Amino acid sequence: MSQDIIIEDNYRLPPPEKVGREPGSFTSVIQGLVFTVDHKKLGLMYIASGLLFFVIAGSLATLMRIQLMVPDNTFLPPDVYNRAFTMHGTTMVFLVGMPIIFGFANYLVPLMIGARDMAFPRMYAFGFWVFFFSGLLLYFSYLGAPGIYGAGSAPDVGWFAYSPLTSKAFSRGHSTDYWTMSLLLGGIGSVSTSINILVTIFCCRCKGMTLGKMPLFVWLNLVMVFLVILALPCLSACQIMLSLDRYLGGTFFDTQAGGSAVLWQHFFWIFGHPEVYVLIMPAFAIASEVIPVFSRKPIFGYPVMVAASISIAFLSLGVWAHHMLTIGMSALGNTFFVISTLLVAIPTGIKIFNWLGTMYGGKLRMELPMLFCIMFLFQFLVAGLTGVMLAIAPFNWQLSDSYFVVAHFHYILIGGLLFTIFAGIYYWYPKAFGRMLDKRLGMAHLVFFTIGFHVTFLPQHFLGFLGMPRRIYTYQADRGWDLWNFVSTVGVVFQAIGILFLVANLIYSYVRGKKAGNDPWDAWTLEWATTSPPQDYNFAELPEVKSRRPLWDAKHPNDPDWKHE
Amino acid sequence: MTMTKGARKNFGWILIAGFLATVMGSAYAQDGGEMRRVSDIFQPLSRQSEMILEPTMLVLLTSLGVFLVVTFMLVYVVWKFRRRGPEDDVVEPPQIYGSNNIELAWTVIPCLIVFVLVLVTARSIVEIQNAEMPPDALEIRLVGHQWWWEVHYPQLGIVTANEIHVPVSTRTGERRPTRIYLESADVIHSFWVPQLAGKTDLIPNRTNRTWIEPFETGTFFGNCAEYCGTQHANMLIRVIVQEPEDFQRWVENQQQPPPVPQSALALQGRADFESITCINCHAIDGTTAVGVFGPDLSKLMTRQTIAAGVAPLTPETLRAWLVDPQVMKPGANMPDMKLTDQQLDSIVAYLETLK
């Protein structure tokens, strides 16, 4: 967190004469964090808390990989392992993925559309703090009664918590309630933040910026928040229904009282599948900014990119039951969801081709953001193709709930989302802190993390082919799974070293990094038109744009974009 | 079925399956003779798994093609258009904003691929899901429990646990498929024996169906494939495929009640078993034990393993299990019975007679 931003903010809000603290003291820093409504500071707080939870959930994953490194291992007892994978999954989706993408959106959207702030600054602070406390609540389950003397009462039902495993009969105590309440709270935070972003994009754009002239980053985040607003209330609804079941005698999902176990799956995945696209849209958003700038060309086929994103979002609302191809639906039902799922591949393919088209004929500057995006393209291609495989229902009957699925969605969420988040960090860190991230540390991060990622997750595809189901805390020595599990665990070491380089880089460059200036990458969107870091008010004078690349127009007055668009 | 034969003749099919199997460690496959421990989906040994492999190989080959083409394009573009030096920073490259014709081309190609995949998949789904069984097909009712499998043969009056016995079929000759009805007593489980059948879930309040028609004899390994609680990892299942005459012998044996114990120790064991709470959960033919919460023990010693595959079933493991089930399978629903040494001796001696 940048200290000088905090101090400035302290003067702004609340008035200094009422605070009565020395600027720069510990209490004033805390006060600055708690009272701030600045979209940039809250954006960084979102990203920082996301990274904090990332380290926690990554450590849980490391424990799980140690347990699975050799057969018949006794490193973790079964209940500890089951809590670990539940917390890992829940954390990575709701406390890492969501806050980091919201952080990027909130920091950058107002800057990119030439606005001074979000539409509802205080609602934004509300959204952040609700999310943050939902995370604390989830982790409090490790301590909360009867946690301490019961050695942890964290949830152990898996991140999609299939009923009736969550009913009172099979989930005693309060572990499931921590999970339910935490997600309910987090859902309120996510929806309020999404509404805020939506209104900001629709109402706060600067003069000249029609919807068709918004940067693709803004477009994709617009699609993302629409999906959040449509999908997350389904999750909240089924959390409420589950709580009714557990405490007020409801029987929606309680099979012993005639409820339906399948109903939960439908409700959950009606949220859960759009959620995947909620997480991948921001990855597309970052790639769509970074790739053009470092290729020195505008995005290829802007209108098609927008249309493809909207159709992906639309289709994603109708594919949920491809998570449920093994529940015994009719052949017709299965076929419907096979078709809808395969249709998603078409706009997704178009996007990949358009990024390649953007790079074609350019002069590719191999800076770190670009390198991470190139790796993203490759890994997202793999993830997309394994997704097509999973959509083929008969193949799915073999692969569903196996390690192949684990490999597939880690290729999406790490190879796709996390790599672009890294690209975004290297790309916008100079804007947020006024200093460049160190290149050598960055290269070490890239190399170690990429190697570690592939060594960990590529073998998990093979484990799925060999019949290893997910979520097992142990396996026997003679099933043919030893080698690939061992290799997979070795990869974790490289990933961890990569992350250490990133953390070291973030700290080192904050102090020692080269001064960035306003526009270190020679880029074209409005955030580069202001100071690094931007002032509280973002722009001294509100900009006016004529094209999608206002800074290109300014830098090339003889050949501006608006003549061609 | 014509597609099955066609695919088997396909050279590429054999090549790729063989390659993947080799890469992924089929070296283990021959270990233990007929014990088919490595459940490789590329070595299907039943009609259903072979039918699944057809669309599987199609989508794998298609994906491989797309992967190679796009990766080549990516590498080519990155290499060809990389910045070569400071001179490249002087002039920006030509600014291209898009091209409708090119967009159209790379929209149509994925559409065609998707169209073909949909047709093949739809046919395969119907063929597998709605496969017709002969009217006299063997039927099994499989009930999932936390964390073991209850197996019923309603036509034969047999109840057992954790191991399914079925007769072998031949690819072209006599079909002896088995229809399996899947139910659950508590939470959701999933039946998956990769070399014989893809997954189908066992869902409470619902009866699902699948079928197996194995082409080779041997013991096939599988796991519960839907997370079902603490001991999900140790909910293993075995399918023992036998020649029809061996299967018949097994059936006849299972239909007999267990023999009356001969030794004094075993008789004492039976008295002990009937006098403590064992009988609340377990059933043994011809005794007062009629519990339904745990596995039926009438023919216990005819099974290969104990506690749903945790360990091979021997007098030693049986005793270890009775000393404290929570050591072998922490979290299992059978509590530590606090048996004395004498009780352990006698009950183990009694259980050993159940065959």
| Cα torsion A542, A547, A552, A558: sign | negative
Nearest residue of A to residue B74, measured between CA atoms? A356
Give the pLDDT score at A20.
52
Nearest to residue B113, comparing CAs of B149, B59, B156? B59
Secondary structure percentages of chain A, helix, strand, coil, to 5 = 70, 0, 30
Give the pLDDT score at A11.
45
Q: Within the 518-547 window of chain A, which residues sit less than 8 Å (CB to CB) from chain B?
A: none
Picking from B37, B201, B330, the nearest residue to A480 by CB comes out as: B37
Q: What percent of chain B has pLDDT over 90?
A: 83
Which tops the pLDDT comparison, A4 or A427? A427
Give the pLDDT score at A21.
59
pLDDT tens-digit map of B294-340: 999 999 999 999 999 999 999 999 999 999 999 999 999 999 999 99
Nearest residue of A to residue B81, measured between CA atoms? A363
pLDDT tops 90 at residue B121:
yes
How many residues does this entry show for chain B?
Answer: 355
Chain A residues with CB under 8 Å of B88 CB are 363
pLDDT tens-digit map of B42-98: 999 999 999 999 999 999 999 999 999 999 999 999 999 999 988 888 889 999 999
Residue whose pair of structure tokens reads 């597309």 in the numeric block = A284
- Measured between alpha carbons, how far is A208 from A59 in angstroms, rounded to an integer? 48
Considering the entire predicted model, what is its pTM? 0.92
Two structure tokens written together for B332: 């299992």
Picking from B25, B73, B199, the nearest residue to A480 by CB comes out as: B25
pLDDT tops 50 at residue B11:
no
Chain A residues with CB under 8 Å of B61 CB are none
Picking from A260, A297, A338, the nearest residue to B95 by CB comes out as: A297
From the CA of A34, how many Å to the nearest CA of chain B?
Answer: 40
Phi/psi at B141 (5° precision): -110, 115
Q: With an 8 Å Cβ cutoff, is A339 touching chain B?
A: yes
Which whole number is the average pLDDT over A121-137? 95
Q: Within the 11-30 window of chain A, which residues sit less than 8 Å (CB to CB) from chain B?
A: none
Chain A residues with CB under 8 Å of B96 CB are 297-298, 300, 357, 361
Q: With an 8 Å Cβ cutoff, is A355 touching chain B?
A: no
Chain B residues with CB under 8 Å of A378 CB are 71, 74
Nearest residue of A to residue B312, measured between CA atoms? A476
pLDDT tens-digit map of A313-338: 999 999 999 999 999 999 999 999 99
**pLDDT bucket at A28, cuts 50 / 70 / 90:** confident
Give the pLDDT score at A414.
96
pLDDT tens-digit map of A375-425: 999 999 999 999 999 999 999 999 999 999 999 999 999 999 999 999 999
Nearest to residue A373, comparing CAs of A505, A284, A435, A301? A284
Give the pLDDT score at B97.
92
Chain B residues with CB under 8 Å of A346 CB are 107, 110-111, 114
Residues 6 or more apart whose CB falls under 8 angstroms from that of A58 comprise A495, A496, A499
- Substitution target from B34, B45, B106 for chain A, most A beta carbons within 10 A: B106
Q: With an 8 Å Cβ cutoff, is A304 touching chain B?
A: yes
End-to-end alpha-carbon separation of chain A, Å?
Answer: 39
- Measured between alpha carbons, how far is A265 from A280 in angstroms, rounded to an integer? 22
pLDDT tops 90 at residue B1:
no
pLDDT tops 60 at residue A3:
no
Measured N-to-C along each axis, helices A261-295 and A331-359 cross at an angle, to the nearest 10 degrees, of 10
Q: How would you write A63-75 as a 3-class SS string?
A: HHHHHHCCCCCCC
Q: With an 8 Å Cβ cutoff, is A407 touching chain B?
A: no
Nearest residue of B to residue A559, measured between CA atoms? B95
Residue whose pair of structure tokens reads 């004929």 in the numeric block = A361
Give the pLDDT score at B350.
96
Give the pLDDT score at A2.
41
Give the pLDDT score at B355.
87
Nearest residue of B to residue A338, measured between CA atoms? B118
Q: How many CB atoms lie within 10 A of CB B64?
A: 12
**pLDDT bucket at B261, cuts 50 / 70 / 90:** very high
With an 8 Å Cβ cutoff, are A465 and B88 in contact?
A: no
Q: With an 8 Å Cβ cutoff, is A168 touching chain B?
A: no
Kind and range of the H or E element at B149?
strand B148-153
Give the pLDDT score at B88.
85
Residues 6 or more apart whose CB falls under 8 angstroms from that of A507 comprise none
With an 8 Å Cβ cutoff, are A338 and B122 in contact?
A: yes
**pLDDT bucket at A177, cuts 50 / 70 / 90:** very high
Picking from B95, B98, B227, the nearest residue to A471 by CB comes out as: B227
From the CA of B16, how many Å to the nearest CA of chain A?
Answer: 13
Q: Is A249 left (phi over 0), alpha (psi -120 to 50) or beta?
A: left
Q: With an 8 Å Cβ cutoff, is A240 touching chain B?
A: no
Give the pLDDT score at A13.
52
Q: Provide the CB-side half-sphere exposure for A464 (13 A, CA).
A: 26
Q: With an 8 Å Cβ cutoff, is A385 touching chain B?
A: yes
- Substitution target from A299, A326, A558 for chain B, most B beta carbons within 10 A: A326
> B196, B237 in Cβ contact below 8 A?
no
pLDDT tens-digit map of B266-278: 999 999 999 998 9
With an 8 Å Cβ cutoff, are A474 and B234 in contact?
A: yes
Strand order in the sheet with B158-161: B158-161, B148-153, B138-145, B178-184, B208-212
Nearest residue of A to residue B118, measured between CA atoms? A339
Picking from A78, A346, A472, the nearest residue to B110 by CB comes out as: A346
Kind and range of the H or E element at B200?
strand B197-202
Kind and range of the H or E element at B208?
strand B208-212
Chain B residues with CB under 8 Å of A476 CB are 309
Residue whose pair of structure tokens reads 């001696």 in the numeric block = B349
- Measured between alpha carbons, how far is A134 from A188 in angstroms, rounded to an integer? 10
With an 8 Å Cβ cutoff, are A165 and B29 in contact?
A: no
Distances (CA, A) of B222 to A193, A238, B20, B41, B227: 45, 33, 20, 11, 14
From the CA of B126, how many Å to the nearest CA of chain A?
Answer: 6
Give the pLDDT score at B172.
87
Which whole number is the average pLDDT over A23-32? 82
Give the pLDDT score at B302.
93
Which tops the pLDDT comparison, B181 or A18? B181
Mean pLDDT, chain A, whole residue set:
92
Two structure tokens written together for B243: 């020649």
- Measured between alpha carbons, how far is A341 from A292 in angstroms, rounded to an integer? 29
Give the pLDDT score at B25.
43
**pLDDT bucket at A152, cuts 50 / 70 / 90:** low
From the CA of B123, how many Å to the nearest CA of chain A?
Answer: 9
With an 8 Å Cβ cutoff, are B74 and A378 in contact?
A: yes
Mean pLDDT, chain B, whole residue set:
89
With an 8 Å Cβ cutoff, are A467 and B20 in contact?
A: no
Residues 6 or more apart whose CB falls under 8 angstroms from that of A26 comprise none
pLDDT tens-digit map of B329-338: 999 999 999 9
**pLDDT bucket at B113, cuts 50 / 70 / 90:** very high
Q: What percent of chain A has pLDDT over 90?
A: 86
pLDDT tens-digit map of A43-99: 999 999 999 999 999 999 999 999 999 999 999 999 999 999 999 999 999 999 999
Q: How many CB atoms lie within 10 A of CB A43?
A: 26
Picking from B110, B126, B130, the nearest residue to A345 by CB comes out as: B110
Picking from B25, B99, B233, the nearest residue to A473 by CB comes out as: B233
Q: Which ipTM did the prediction report?
A: 0.90
Q: Which residues of B110-140 are buried (b: 16+ CB within 10 A; e: fewer)?
A: beebbeebbebbbebbebbbebeeeeeebbb
**pLDDT bucket at A184, cuts 50 / 70 / 90:** very high
**pLDDT bucket at A562, cuts 50 / 70 / 90:** confident
pLDDT tops 50 at residue A234:
yes
Q: With an 8 Å Cβ cutoff, is A484 touching chain B?
A: yes
- Measured between alpha carbons, how far is A269 from A235 in angstroms, rounded to an integer? 9
